[in-house]
């Protein structure tokens, strides 16, 4: 196929992008942890290390909710309590075996965790934080009151494992293995489309929806898994304590878990892991620290929030501090387009019919008809308040008109539901680039392929073959898209370090990854230099030539005239004129509309 | 039910409701000035009780001095909250950061009280020296405090330019700034005021809640419920919400016992919030940060 | 010593400003003299609002220089610039609907002494008798047009040397637009300079001494309002290099 460029051997940046995950901190930690029992350390330290491993299990799960999904779950000690008491009651009162009880306790934690996803989806940050705090308090009080089952204030015996797990060393290694597995699963998840979707929902929810992320389902699964790990940790905790009472489960503990993630760094796995180790060890250094431990945690939290919002992970990330080349040019290479947009061109158009959208008294759209044909670049211009961006938003599922209809070919598509658009072949960019700053450029672009992946949440957790295949092909595909827009050199760089114009092109790459039939660009030229605007124009024309229908909303009328096949002018929510650029440029009503005559 | 028990429920419910309402007002004052929901509101209340007991009981200061210095303590904490926990993170539109900074400050305040005061609840002295028979001081002090605060805020808003500046900032911070209002000074003053209100709540509620370092956490949650129900920034809503909460809590305690009362409050609160995330009286006015 | 009418009041040199990473203003040079009315025109996204915000201090900037009445405006916020005699009426008639009309004006004079503030509020009312009638009512009872007049009145309470109006005609009926522009003409007589950002190009030119057009963050036109090539220059600014065969018909 002409124009299909051969992918040469992966240059250095690709290797860096693939292997930004460096295993050495994890390996070192694991080695240190495994060798502990063999150093002849006394039981006190073994127990402390066991506690650390158990906290790690919970924190790895909580990390997904707090660090990745960005939810302020302050009350996770409630799930720890549920896990601990479930396993203890099952073993002690109902004679269930220890291992089945462990699993049931984890499932119980998962169930309540999933329940917490409901307020997470409905409530604002602070409100959700309060709800989880209330939850933790309630769990604690119920445990206290339900004396017949839980032993109330007197407590209950924790489950005892059979040999060799009843000895300190044995139990420690058991917990360590579980902690390692849990860390490994969350690591897998962070390098999957589910992990990237979580970050997108956290930072740029609108862009997440536009790329097909279903927030409800994602949260349900994430919260269940996170609760599962907490329940598991709770059951192990009960064994560790050998006898549990309600006042072992304080809100202070809950806050400690939460702070570990913030100090470690959101969106990181190694950060919270190291923070857990650090915070558990801290009170051991000297006696006064025990009394003042909560104060110390709070100061650490404050310092992190004010000075190093990225946490320990940010400190460890040496790559991030390496200076970037200045005077970088963005040189798109449209020759690679066929490898990216390798779906056959459709023949259907998007049609908006008689759409009316009112916000109170304001008629944003007042009976608008517009078509976006495949293979055509369609420019949409108009003075302030004419409804250009509103039109684009409605097509993309943001905003619910009171009248009118939306069609692809002869299928009507519903208003609203932005997360369905990308599977319908509609992709978009935003007026201000919406990116996950702390993720790499490559990871950001891979977000565009969220709906292309087939590996389920579970498959991603355990690194199953389908997950690995997904990731590999998506990575190559995304890299190709970056080539098309001319940003492949920056693939491994954190997105927040990019210049504004580079972010704009990156968004286009992200949109291309989903192999869209229709590409909607919202003021893509704002903030670009004249040279960059030229290149943007050429790229867009090329995209159109490959069969994708492009809608471009712009203020830069001359850019629109240069790159469009068809131009529609809006004024006051209606179509004022439509035609070729040559016709529109000289249209007297258009000039009047702009000059407010 | 006997008259005595009925009276007890109503009196306790009203008193605790007033304390909750006052903490709700504390939240609202901080929110109106900065669009920030601060975790420190409940801790100001705790400090009011602890510092009050410390000054009047342990250091034998006269009541008026104890009250004054307690308010000063609240004011100072409010100012520190603004400078350390709010101002540095306001520029950053990420929602979570200011919640965390105020959480950190709240934890620090609580821990200092735990270590320097005591982890045990201590009694709070009687302050008014007036014998009111069955309707003891611990029942009417919070009511008086609430009335004083609400009246004071009304006077502030209606008769001082500063009060109206607060309202302006609360309604439209950007427009207020564009007009040349001293936004930062007004914000610091708001937080100082919030600290004073919170500590007054704790002082007036000292006999009911005792001087206990862990009151802060309880007040953080129970003081938040009136805000959630009444609508952010809505003091009248907080008043109604607080009183309703106080009475509901006491009635539930009587009817189903302590634990289930808490569960009832929590479940009722959660369901109401899920059904109406802006609160029962709140409006879904778009807010900048939250 | 009398100051001459042509004294430069606002001197903007090589100003660059933007939001986050987006550099909107690409180096602006602009001068406004005492008593001069300057119409600031241009398509959306050109940077008109950004320029006003940078000058008044609502938007921080760090490249170039802005001097007003001899003072350097760098790192001054709106409070500082207001005190120097610069008033910025932002777009969208954002008055405080939870307060009365009088309170809205009083707040505009927050830093003034009590009696002086009352005087100035009365002065502002005298320019807009329609809202003076409603002085004790809540600002929420005013129509959109009246709220816009209130917003302009707020700008005048401090008797500014320079008044910057951002799209005062937005959402207003033609009659009310004329009312507002009549006030602009009137205050010019007392020596106040005005920068008027407007979408209604003809009306804006009608009251102005000078026309400045902004496009893509740069000044593309700076002429007196009676200049011959004004119309063509404006078309260029708004529509790019449009075909000049068309006369903008009234």
**Domain edge (last residue) among A453, A482, A504:** A504
Residues A339 and A5: beta-carbon distance below 8 Å: yes
Query: Is C238 near chain A, with CB under 8 Å?
Result: yes
Task: Based on the fold, state whether residues A101 and A206 are members of the same structural domain.
Answer: yes
Structure tokens at B58: 């342990």
Q: Is C107 in contact with B164 (Cβ distance < 8 A)?
A: yes
Whether residue B287 is contained in a domain is answered as no
Do C131 and C101 contact (CB within 8 A), yes or no? yes
In this structure, the answer to whether residues A230 and A375 fall within a common structural domain is no
Contacts of residue A23, defined as CB under 8 A and 6 or more positions apart, other chains included, come to none
Higher pLDDT, A106 or B210: A106
Smallest Cβ–Cβ distance between C45 and the set A526, A585, A588 belongs to A526
Confidence of residue B288 (pLDDT cuts 50, 70, 90): very low
The values of phi and psi at residue B137, to 5°, are -55, -40
CB contact under 8 A, B100 and A135: no
Q: What is the pLDDT of residue A597?
A: 54
Q: Which among B165, B170, B178 has CB closest to C90?
A: B178
Q: Among B102, B116, B93, which residue's Cα sits nearest to residue B41?
A: B102
- A439, A474: one domain: yes
Task: Take residue B203 and report the two structure tokens written for it.
Answer: 């002082």
User: Chain A closest CA to B133's CA: distance in Å?
Assistant: 35
Chain C interface includes A496 (CB < 8 A): no
C125 sits in the region (left: phi over 0; alpha: psi -120 to 50; else beta) called alpha
Same-domain check for residues A230 and A356: no
Are both A148 and A198 inside the same structural domain?
A: yes
Closest to B180 (Cβ–Cβ): which among C78, C98, C106?
C78
Using the Cβ of C249 and the Cβ atoms of chain A, whether some distance falls under 8 Å is answered with yes
Beta-carbon separation of B179 and C77 below 8 A: no
Residue with tokens 């760094």: A265
CB A131 within 8 A of CB A123: yes
Given this model, what pLDDT does residue A25 score? 86
CATH number at residue B68: 1.10.3470
Strand, coil or helix: what is C166?
strand
Domains of chain C: residue spans and CATH: 8-239 (3.40.50.300)
Which pLDDT tens digit goes with each residue over A110-147? Answer: 999 999 999 999 998 889 999 999 999 999 989 988 88
ipTM for the assembly:
0.90
For residue B214, pLDDT over 60 is answered with: yes
Residue pair C75/C59 in contact by the 8 Å Cβ criterion: no
Specify the 3-state DSSP secondary structure of B126: coil
- Joined together, the tokens standing for residue B258 give 């302590």
- CB-side neighbour CA atoms (13 Å) of A263: 24
Give the rounded percent of residues in chain C with a pLDDT score beyond 70.
93
CA distances, B116 to each of A295, A350, B109, B113 (Å) = 12, 69, 11, 5
> In total, how many domains does chain A have?
3
Contacting residues of B for C56, CB less than 8 Å apart: 178
Would the CB atoms of C240 and A556 count as touching at under 8 Å? Answer: yes
Domain boundary pick from A232, A250, A268: A250
Same domain, A382 and A237: no
Question: Tell me: the pLDDT tens digits for B13-39?
Answer: 999 999 999 999 999 999 998 888 899
Whether a cis peptide bond, with omega within 30° of 0, leads into A164 is: yes
| Interatomic CA distance for residues C213 and C211, integer angstroms | 7
User: What's the number of domains chain B is made of?
Assistant: 1
How many Cα atoms within 13 Å fall on the side-chain side of residue A116? 36
Q: Give the max Cα distance, chain C.
A: 59
Q: Do A306 and B96 touch (CB under 8 A)?
A: no
pLDDT at B284: 46
pLDDT at A7 over 50: no
d(CA A467, CA A459): 6
* Mean pLDDT of all residues in C54-66: 93
Q: Which pTM was predicted?
A: 0.91
Tell me how far apart the alpha carbons of residues C18 and A423 are, in angstroms, rounded to a whole number.
36
- Number of Cβ pairs < 8 A linking chain A and chain C: 76
Q: In terms of domains, do A170 and A26 share one?
A: yes
Chain C residues contacting B, CB < 8 Å? 56, 58, 77-79, 81-83, 88-90, 94-99, 103, 106-108, 110-111, 154, 158
Please provide the distance, in angstroms rounded to a whole number, between the alpha carbons at the two ends of chain B: 45
Task: Quote the distance between the C-alpha of residue B83 and its chain's center.
Answer: 20
In a domain, B50, yes or no: yes
A349 and A216 in a single domain? The answer is: no
pLDDT for residue B112 is more than 80: yes
B18 touches chain C (CB under 8 A): no
pLDDT at residue C244 tops 50:
no
E strand or H helix at C5, and its extent?
none
Q: In whole numbers, what is the pLDDT of chain C averaged over residues?
A: 88
In a domain, B283, yes or no: no
Q: Which of A500, A585, A595 sits opposite C243 (nearest CB)?
A: A585
Size of interface B-C (CB pairs under 8 A): 65
The answer on pLDDT for B168 being more than 60 is: yes
CA distance C219 to chain A (A): 15
Residues A389 and A443 in one domain: no
- Chains with 3 or more CB pairs under 8 A to chain B: A, C
3-state secondary structure of C18: strand
CA proximity to C41, closest of C245, C166, C199, C210: C199
- pLDDT > 90 fraction of chain A, expressed in percent and rounded: 65
B95-116 helix and A125-145 helix, angle to the nearest 10 degrees: 40
What is the arithmetic mean of pLDDT over A368-390? 89
Residue A431 has pLDDT above 70, yes or no: yes
Here the tokens at position B53 are 């007991």
The mean pLDDT value for C95-122 works out to: 94
CB contact under 8 A, A526 and C238: no
* Structure token digits, residue C138: 């809540």
Q: Which residues contact A207 (CB under 8 A, 6 or more apart)?
A: A200, A430, A434, A435, A447
| A17 has pLDDT over 70 | no
Mean pLDDT (chain A, rounded): 90
Dump pLDDT digits (tens) for A239-285.
999 999 998 999 889 999 999 999 999 989 999 999 999 999 988 88
Predicted confidence (pLDDT) per residue in C188-239, tens digit: 888 899 999 988 888 999 999 999 999 888 999 998 988 878 888 887 777 7
What stretch of H or E contains A444?
Answer: helix A441-446
C-alpha distances in angstroms, C49 versus A2, A283, A577, B119, C21?
A: 49, 55, 28, 57, 17
Judged against a pLDDT cut of 90, whether residue C245 lies above it is answered with no
- The pLDDT, as a whole number, for residue C62 is 81
Report pLDDT digits (tens) over B233-274: 889 999 999 999 999 999 888 888 877 888 888 988 888 888
DSSP β-bridge partners for residue C224: C210
Q: Is the CB of A144 less than 8 angstroms away from the CB of B259?
A: yes
For position A366, which CATH number holds? 3.40.50.300
In chain C, what residues touch B161 (CB-CB under 8 Å)? 106-107, 110
**For residue B154, what are its two tokens?**
């009304």
Q: How many CA atoms lie within 13 A of A193 on its CB side?
A: 32
Give Dmax (Cα) for chain B. Answer: 61
Question: What pLDDT, on the 0 to 100 scale, is given for residue B94?
Answer: 63
User: Is the domain of A201 the same as that of A120?
Assistant: yes
Contact A134, A73 (CB under 8 A): no
Residue identified by tokens 């914000």 is B187
Tokens 């003072």 locate to C71
How do strand C71-72 and strand C63-68 relate by DSSP bridges? antiparallel
Has residue A16 got a pLDDT over 70? no
B171, two tokens: 């309604």
What share of residues in chain A are helix, strand, coil (percent, to 5)? 60, 10, 30
Per-residue pLDDT at A319 exceeds 80: no
Please determine, for residue C241, whether its predicted confidence score (pLDDT) is greater than 70.
no
Range of the domain at B65: 3-275
Number of H helices, E strands in chain A: 25, 12
- Mean pLDDT check: name the lowest of B24-38, C78-92, C167-181: C167-181
For residue B154, being part of any structural domain is answered with: yes
* B227 touches A at CB < 8 Å: no
The pLDDT of B205-225, averaged and rounded, is 92
Q: Which residues contact A123 (CB under 8 A, 6 or more apart)?
A: A131, B273, B274, B277
Binning pLDDT at 50, 70 and 90, where does residue A596 land?
Answer: low
Which chain A residues contact residue C203 at CB under 8 A? 596
- Which token pair is C189? 């007589």
In a domain, A219, yes or no: yes
CB distance C78–B178 less than 8 Å?
yes
Do both A419 and A547 map to the same domain?
Answer: yes
First to last CA, chain C: 46
What 3-state class would DSSP assign to A10? coil
Cβ atoms A573, A541 nearer than 8 A: no
Find, among B79, B58, B72, the residue nearest to B185 by Cα: B79
Round to whole Å and give the CA distance between A531 and A361: 42
State how far residue C137 is from chain B, nearest Cα, in angstroms. Answer: 14
Query: How far apart are the CA of B73 and the nearest CA of chain A, in angstroms?
Result: 19
Nearest to A591 among C45, C216, C235 (CB): C235
| C232 or A105, greater pLDDT | A105
Is B182 in CB contact (< 8 Å) with chain C?
A: yes
Q: Which two tokens stand for residue A225?
A: 């898994």
Inform me whether the C-beta atom of residue A590 falls under 8 Å from chain C C-beta atoms.
yes
Closest CA to C106 of C120, C94, C93: C120
pLDDT of residue B95: 57
| Run of H or E residues at A368 | strand A362-372
pLDDT on residue A240: 94
- Contact (CB<8Å) C99/B165: no
pLDDT score, position A2: 36
pLDDT at B135: 78
On whether any CB of chain A is under 8 Å from the CB of B277, the answer is yes
Mutate one of C82, C98, C111, C158 to test the B interface: name it (highest B CB count within 10 A).
C98
What is the pLDDT, as a whole number, of residue A50? 94
Helices (H), B35-62: 41-53
**C78: nearest CB among B161, B167, B177:** B177
Query: Per the CB < 8 Å rule, is B179 touching C58?
Result: no
C51-80 mean pLDDT: 93
> Contact B167/C94, CB-based, under 8 Å?
no
Expressed in percent and rounded to 5, the helix, strand and coil fractions of chain C are 35, 25, 35
Model pLDDT, residue A256 = 92
Asked, for residue B156, whether it belongs to a domain, the answer is yes
Of the CA atoms within 13 Å of residue B37, those in its CB half-sphere come to: 25
Confidence at residue A200, expressed as pLDDT on a 0 to 100 scale: 96
Please report the pLDDT score of residue A286 as a whole number: 75
Q: Chain A residue closest to C238 (CA)?
A: A594
Phi/psi at A124 (5° precision) = -75, 165
What are the strands of the beta sheet with A411-413, ordered from one edge? A362-372, A350-359, A403-408, A411-413
Ranges of beta strands (E only) in chain C are 8-19, 22-33, 37-41, 63-68, 71-72, 86-89, 162-166, 193-197, 210-215, 218-224
**Would an 8 Å CB–CB cutoff place C198 in contact with chain A?**
yes
pLDDT in tens, C126-168: 999 989 999 999 999 998 889 999 999 999 999 999 999 999 9
| pLDDT higher than threshold 50 for residue A323 | yes
Domain identity same for A555 and A409: yes
Determine the Cα–Cα distance for residues C46 and C31; give it in Å rounded to an integer: 18
B134 near A CB under 8 A: no
Cα→Cα distances A359→A129, A366, A390, A402, Å: 32, 11, 11, 10
For the ranges A36-40, B81-85, C238-242, which has the lowest average pLDDT?
C238-242
Chain centroid to Cα C153, Å, comes to 12
Give me the domain span that covers residue A69.
Answer: 22-250
Closest CA to A574 of A383, A418, A397, A360: A383
């Amino acid at each position: 196929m002409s124009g299909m460029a051969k992918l040469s051997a992966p240059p250095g940046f690709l290797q860096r992008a693939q292997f930004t995950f460096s295993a050495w901190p994890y390996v070192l930690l694991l080695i240190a942890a495994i060798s502990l029992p063999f150093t002849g350390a006394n039981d006190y330290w073994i127990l402390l290390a066991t506690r650390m491993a158990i906290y790690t299990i919970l924190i790895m799960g909580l990390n997904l909710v707090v660090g990745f999904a960005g939810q302020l779950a302050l009350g996770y000690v409630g799930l720890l309590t549920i896990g601990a008491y479930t396993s203890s009651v099952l073993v002690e009162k109902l004679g269930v075996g220890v291992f089945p009880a462990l699993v049931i306790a984890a499932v119980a934690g998962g169930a309540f965790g999933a329940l917490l996803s409901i307020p997470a989806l409905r409530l604002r940050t602070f409100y959700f934080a309060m709800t989880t705090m209330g939850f933790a308090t309630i769990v604690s009080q119920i445990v206290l009151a339900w004396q017949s089952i839980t032993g109330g204030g007197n407590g209950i015996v924790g489950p005892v494992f059979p040999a060799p797990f009843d000895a300190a060393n044995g139990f420690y290694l058991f917990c360590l293995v579980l902690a390692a597995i849990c860390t490994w699963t969350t690591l897998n998840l962070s390098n999957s489309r589910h992990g990237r979707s979580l970050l997108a929902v956290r930072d740029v929810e609108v862009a997440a929806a536009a790329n097909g992320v279903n927030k409800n389902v994602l949260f349900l699964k994430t919260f269940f898994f996170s609760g599962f790990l907490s329940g598991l940790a709770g059951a192990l905790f009960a064994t560790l304590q050998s006898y549990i009472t309600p006042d072992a489960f304080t809100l202070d503990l809950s806050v400690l878990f939460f702070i570990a993630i913030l100090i470690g760094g959101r969106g990181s796995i190694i950060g919270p892991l190291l923070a857990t180790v650090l915070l558990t060890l801290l009170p051991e250094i000297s006696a006064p620290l025990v009394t003042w431990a909560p104060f110390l945690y709070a100061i650490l939290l404050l310092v992190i929030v004010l000075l190093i919002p990225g946490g320990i992970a940010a400190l460890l990330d040496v790559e991030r501090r390496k200076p970037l080349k200045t005077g970088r040019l963005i040189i798109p290479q449209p020759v690679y387009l066929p490898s990216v947009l390798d779906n056959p061109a459709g023949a259907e158009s998007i049609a908006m019919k008689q759409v009316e959208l009112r916000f109170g008294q304001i008629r944003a759209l007042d009976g608008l008809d517009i078509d976006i044909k495949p293979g055509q670049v369609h420019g949409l211009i108009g003075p302030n308040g004419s409804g250009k961006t509103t039109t684009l938003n409605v097509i993309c599922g943001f905003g619910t008109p009171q009248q009118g209809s939306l069609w692809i070919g002869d299928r009507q598509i519903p208003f609203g539901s932005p997360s369905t658009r990308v599977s319908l072949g509609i992709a978009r960019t935003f007026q201000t680039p919406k990116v996950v700053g702390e993720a790499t450029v490559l990871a950001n672009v891979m977000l565009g392929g969220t709906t292309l992946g087939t590996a389920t949440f579970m498959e991603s957790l355990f690194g199953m073959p389908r997950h690995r295949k997904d990731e590999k092909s998506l990575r190559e595909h995304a890299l190709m898209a970056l080539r098309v827009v001319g940003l492949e050199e920056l693939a491994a760089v954190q997105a927040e370090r990019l210049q504004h114009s580079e972010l704009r092109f990156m968004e286009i790459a992200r949109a291309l990854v989903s192999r869209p039939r229709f590409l909607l660009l919202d003021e893509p030229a704002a903030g670009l230099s004249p040279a960059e605007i030229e290149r943007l124009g050429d790229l867009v024309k090329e995209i159109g030539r490959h069969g994708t229908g492009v809608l471009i909303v712009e203020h830069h009328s001359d850019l629109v005239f240069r790159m469009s096949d068809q131009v529609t002018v809006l004024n006051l929510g209606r179509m004022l004129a439509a035609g070729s650029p040559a016709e529109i440029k000289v249209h007297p009503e258009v000039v009047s509309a702009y000059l407010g005559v | 039910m006997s008259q005595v028990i009925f009276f007890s429920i109503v009196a306790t419910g009203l008193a605790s409701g007033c304390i909750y309402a006052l903490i709700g007002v504390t939240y609202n004052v901080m929110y109106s000035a900065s669009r920030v929901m601060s975790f420190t509101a409940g801790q100001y209340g705790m400090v009011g009780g602890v510092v009050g007991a410390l000054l009047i009981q342990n250091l034998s200061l006269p009541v008026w001095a104890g009250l004054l210095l307690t308010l000063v303590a609240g004011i100072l904490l409010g100012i520190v909250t603004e400078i350390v926990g709010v101002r540095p993170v306001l520029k950053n539109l990420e929602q979570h950061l200011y919640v965390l900074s105020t959480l950190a400050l709240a934890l620090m305040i609580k821990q200092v009280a735990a270590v320097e005061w005591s982890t045990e609840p201590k009694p709070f002295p009687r302050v008014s020296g007036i014998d009111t028979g069955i309707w003891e001081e611990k029942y009417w002090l919070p009511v008086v405090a609430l009335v004083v605060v609400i009246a004071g805020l009304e006077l502030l808003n209606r008769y001082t330019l500063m009060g109206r500046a607060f309202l302006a900032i609360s309604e439209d911070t950007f427009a207020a700034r564009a007009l040349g209002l001293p936004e930062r000074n007004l914000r610091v003053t708001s937080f100082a005021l919030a600290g004073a209100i919170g500590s007054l709540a704790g002082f007036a509620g000292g006999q009911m809640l005792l001087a206990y370092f862990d009151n802060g956490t309880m007040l953080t949650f129970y003081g938040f419920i009136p805000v959630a129900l009444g609508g952010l920034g809505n003091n009248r809503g907080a008043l109604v919400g607080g009183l309703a909460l106080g009475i509901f809590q006491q009635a539930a305690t009587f009817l189903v016992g302590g634990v289930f009362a808490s569960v009832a409050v929590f479940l009722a609160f959660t369901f109401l919030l899920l059904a109406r995330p802006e609160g029962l009286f709140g409006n879904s006015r778009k807010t900048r940060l939250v | 010593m009398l100051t001459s009418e042509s004294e430069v009041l606002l001197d903007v040199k090589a100003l660059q400003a933007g939001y986050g990473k987006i550099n909107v203003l690409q180096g602006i040079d602009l001068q406004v003299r005492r008593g001069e009315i300057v119409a600031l025109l241009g398509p959306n996204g050109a940077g008109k609002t950004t320029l006003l915000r940078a000058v008044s201090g609502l938007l921080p900037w760090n490249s170039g220089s802005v001097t007003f009445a001899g003072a350097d405006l760098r790192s001054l916020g709106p409070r500082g610039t207001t005190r120097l005699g610069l008033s910025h009426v932002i777009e969208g008639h954002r008055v405080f609907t939870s307060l009365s009309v009088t309170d809205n004006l009083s707040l505009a004079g927050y830093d003034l002494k009590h009696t002086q503030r009352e005087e100035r509020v009365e002065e502002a009312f005298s320019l807009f008798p329609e809202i003076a009638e409603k002085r004790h009512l809540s600002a929420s009872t005013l129509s959109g047009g009246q709220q816009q007049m209130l917003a302009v009145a707020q700008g005048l309470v401090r008797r500014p040397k320079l008044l910057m109006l951002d799209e005062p005609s937005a959402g207003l009926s033609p009659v009310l637009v004329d009312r507002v522009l009549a006030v602009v003409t009137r205050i010019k007589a007392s020596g106040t300079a005005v920068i008027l950002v407007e979408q209604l190009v003809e009306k804006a030119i009608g009251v102005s001494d000078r026309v400045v057009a902004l496009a893509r963050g740069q000044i593309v036109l700076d002429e007196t309002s009676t200049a011959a090539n004004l119309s063509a220059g404006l078309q260029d600014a708004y529509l790019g290099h449009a075909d000049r065969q068309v006369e903008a018909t009234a």
